[in-house]
């Protein structure tokens, strides 16, 4: 896994977490 892929995954999960937290 490259750094770009890692950053992309991190960004993806962060967005998902932030979105679900915002819906509450």
- pLDDT per residue over 4-13, tens digit each? 999 999 999 9
Which pTM value belongs to this model?
0.52
> Mean pLDDT throughout 1-22?
94
Using the predicted structure, report yes or no on whether residue 24 has a pLDDT greater than 90: no
Sign of CA pseudo-dihedral 10, 15, 20, 24: positive
Mean pLDDT of the chain: 93
DSSP-assigned letters across all residues of 1-24 = --HHHHHHHHHHHHHHHHHHHHH-
């Amino acid at each position: 896994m490259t750094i770009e892929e890692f950053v992309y995954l991190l960004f993806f999960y962060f967005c998902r977490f932030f979105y679900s937290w915002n819906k509450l």
